Chains A and B, each alone.
Chain A
Amino acid sequence: MTPRLLRWLIPLSAVPVLALLAYGFRVNPREAPSPLVGRPAAVFALQTFEGAPLALEAQRGKVVVLNFWASWCYPACYEEAPVLERNWRAYRDRGVVVIGVDIQDTPEAARKFVRDFSLSFPNARDTTGRVSVDYGVYGVPETFFIDRRGRIRAKHVGGVTDETFRTNVETLLAEPTG
């Protein structure tokens, strides 16, 4: 090994380490692929803010848009709330249901959020965190698109836009029923 080669070898050996670090630090864990996509959606039974029972199983046969939110999640949840409401109204007659699950929140702030945005789709609080864990939720907002057979088909991290909603829902609606 000549000294000249050695002089180059030492800094060069740092390159793979730097590359690994660069890769690791640029990966957002929230965007890491969810192991749940393609798997059956975990069933849950919650109670809406109005006190009505809200069970995922009761929605079988419908395309379900399951949205996790919190009143402190600003601005993303505030931006997507009108989007969800608008699209729920547009699609509800086509066999689509939007379900909102409020996590890590106080009931007062959550109720105010639902009121402020006049959300008419069913919303419930996950008081024990069990639903959040079952869906591997890292933070809010996160949205799951569930097909008619009850399987999770897509996970969206961050605020839902009209386009995200439509693209995912239309794909699932286009699939043959049953």
Chain B
Amino acid sequence: MSARGAALGLALALAVAVAVAAGAAAQAPTRRVTEQQVHDVAAQLRCVVCQTLSVADSPSEMASQMRAIVRERLEAGEPPERVVQFFVDRYGEWILLAPPRRGFTLLVWAAPVVAVAAGLLLAAVLLARWTRRRRAAPAAPPVVDPAMQERIRRELESGP
């Protein structure tokens, strides 16, 4: 092999090596993802087969497959909100355990606050009314008719 041929071969090998390395880097930009990070995303998602559990808590096969998808996407560098959105895009907002604080589901968030406020207001109104009545009561002199007064006086005087 001539010197020129060897140089060409070397250049070619180098090019291939760079291409392979670049390809590998592009394919798997894996980052370290902890169990906790997977859990944090999975806990926001409803397990589709059991419905009352989150994907983090469900022992079902479906949930474990969904956790694997969460992990994979996080490892690929996707931010947690995007991973949650990935599931919302496919299942709708029903997949979220906490309903979004807007539109119709805002009602779910607002209702308890409104109910507590209304209850406090009602209690305040009633309390005000009751205390007013009680304070007003002793101001009026007790009405005892003269016949009864006379009877009391007589019985007190007569003694036992």
Cβ-closest chain B residue relative to A29: B94
Is the C-beta of B35 less than 8 angstroms from some C-beta in chain A?
no
Residue B154, interface by CB 8 Å: no
Residue in A closest to B61 when the chains form the complex, CB atoms: A104
> Residue on A with the closest CB to B51?
A29
Q: A129 an interface residue at 8 Å Cβ cutoff?
A: yes
Asked if B98 is at the interface of the complex by the 8 Å CB criterion, the answer is: no
Hey, which chain A residues are within 8 Å of B122, CB to CB?
A: 10
The answer to whether B92 and A33 touch across the interface, beta carbons within 8 angstroms, is: yes
Instruction: Evaluate contact between A129 and B65: CB separation under 8 angstroms.
Output: yes
A and B contact pairs by CB, cutoff 8 A, 26 listed: A17-B111, A17-B115, A20-B111, A29-B94, A32-B94, A34-B92, A35-B88, A35-B90, A35-B91, A36-B90, A104-B49, A104-B61, A128-B65, A128-B68, A129-B68, A129-B69, A130-B69, A133-B66, A133-B69, A134-B90, A136-B90, A136-B92, A138-B48, A138-B91, A139-B48, A139-B49
Chain A residue numbers with a CB within 8 Å of B68 are 128-129
Chain B interface, DSSP helix/strand/loop, else mixed: helix
In the bound complex, how far is the Cα of B65 from the Cα of A133, in angstroms?
A: 9
* Chain B residue, CB-CB nearest to A138: B48
**Are the CB atoms of B51 and A135 closer together than 8 Å?**
no
**Could you tell me if B90 and A135 are in contact, using CB atoms closer than 8 angstroms?**
yes
- Cα separation A34 to B111 with both chains bound (whole Å): 27
A-B contact count (CB 8 A): 50
A35 proximity list for chain B (CB < 8 A) = 88-92
Given contacts A13-B118, A29-B51, A129-B66, 19 further A-B contacts (CB under 8 A): A10-B122, A20-B107, A32-B92, A32-B94, A35-B90, A104-B49, A104-B61, A104-B62, A129-B61, A129-B62, A129-B65, A129-B69, A130-B65, A132-B65, A133-B90, A134-B90, A135-B90, A136-B91, A139-B49
